[in-house]
Each structure stands twice: as structure tokens, then as C-alpha cells.
Amino acid sequence: MTDIFGVVADATRRELLQVLLERYLAPESATGDISVGELVEKLGLSQPTVSKHLKVLRDSGLVAVREVGQHRYYRLEPGPLDVVEEWLVPFLSVDSLGGGLEQGEASGAFAAWSGVQMPASLRRAGESLQHPSDAGAAVGRAMADATHGTRHRFEEASEAVERKVFDPIRKKLKKD
């Protein structure tokens, strides 16, 4: 399978994924499918360019294709993006372990990678444990809190984008 990070690194493919996501989430779209022609029209790109990028997305498992005669309809398959989400979570939850970072500190994943110090709150928590088994419980609680916080922030951000970006666009499109 293609490296998912390389696939989403391309701006044109991210634009395609955004349009596919909008269709996937649209309440009026029963299947979430969109034709190549519609993608060409929405993005203002040539058909060969759109088709080339859709092939990369298809090969990576990010889209599924349905053929009807000579027409192809594409649908988002978000599963492969789980890898990206899992990689991003530690970076997005940097301040979830104790009210923020002190200068020069970073999340556990980044600290391990870069050699930067761990957050003081996490370091103090580790030093205060009396039994090694407590560490697993503490890590589990921290992970659950971080995951919950991250999901909550994603939901809030998604709602804000919906209200501030997509709703005005939909209203404008309905007027036209």
C-alpha cells in the first residue's frame, strides 16, 4: 500500500479529499458518490489531472470507484486516514496532561523523538508512583483523557468550519 502521508501531502489530492468528504457527509447524498465530471467542475481542474490524482487515491484505498457505463463515481473511504489520525493525536494533545507546557517542553511522542524534556507535570506524576503497576493505570487514564480531549477539539473545530465556511457556501449556492 502507498504511504498515506505521501498521498495526502499533495495539495490537489487534499482538495479532492475535501470535496469527497463534503459529498460523503452531505445529508442529501445517499451514497456519497460524485462523478469525475462534477469533481472537474468543482475544482476547476482538467479531467486528466483529476483522474491522475483519483488513481493515486484509489491505489491508497482512500476512495472507492463505481462504474456505470462510461461514467465513474468516486466515494471517500476514510479508513486509511486512521494512520494519520493516530500519528497526529500526540501532537494535538500536547497540553492535555497538566494544563500546558513549560517553555522548551513537548509531548511524550515528540520528546522521545527529539530529545526534548518531558512536561514537568508528566515527569512529576512518574516520580510519584509507588508501584510500577500504577504506571499502566496512569498512562491509560492520560491516554483516555488525551483521546477524549482530542476528539472533542476535532468535533468543535468541525462544527466551527461547518458554521463559518460550509453553511455560507451552501446558502450562496442555493441563491444561485
What is the full per-residue pLDDT of the chain (176 aa) written as tens digits? 468 888 888 889 999 999 998 898 888 878 889 999 999 999 999 999 999 999 999 999 999 999 999 899 999 998 888 888 888 777 766 555 544 444 444 445 545 544 455 556 656 666 666 665 555 556 666 666 677 777 778 888 888 888 888 888 888 888 76
Domain range for 103: 81-165
Question: Rounded CA gap, 121 and 130, in Å?
Answer: 16
Residue 63 lies in a domain: yes
Residue 171 lies in a domain: no
Q: Which pLDDT value is given to residue 139?
A: 62
Among 43, 77, 111, the domain-final residue is 77
User: Among 33, 55, 53, which Cα is nearest to 43's?
Assistant: 53
Which letter, b or e, does each residue of 105-134 get, where b requires 16 or more Cβ atoms within 10 Å of its Cβ?
bbbbeebeeeeeebbebbeebeeeeeeeee
Residue 173 lies in a domain: no
Whether 5 and 11 have beta carbons less than 8 Å apart is answered as no
Q: Which pLDDT value is given to residue 173?
A: 82
Residue 176 lies in a domain: no
Residue 72 lies in a domain: yes
As given in the structure block, the three cell numbers for residue 76 are 471517500
Q: Which pLDDT value is given to residue 42?
A: 93
Instruction: Read off the CATH number of the domain in which 35 is found.
Output: 1.10.10.10
Q: Which pLDDT value is given to residue 66?
A: 93
Indicate whether 63 and 124 sit together in one domain.
no
- As for how many domains the chain has, the answer is 2
Residue 53 lies in a domain: yes
Among 54, 77, 100, the domain-final residue is 77
On the CB side of 172, CA atoms within 13 Å amount to: 6
Among 34, 58, 77, the domain-final residue is 77
Q: Which pLDDT value is given to residue 104?
A: 45
User: Phi, psi (5° rounding) for residue 115?
Assistant: 85, 5
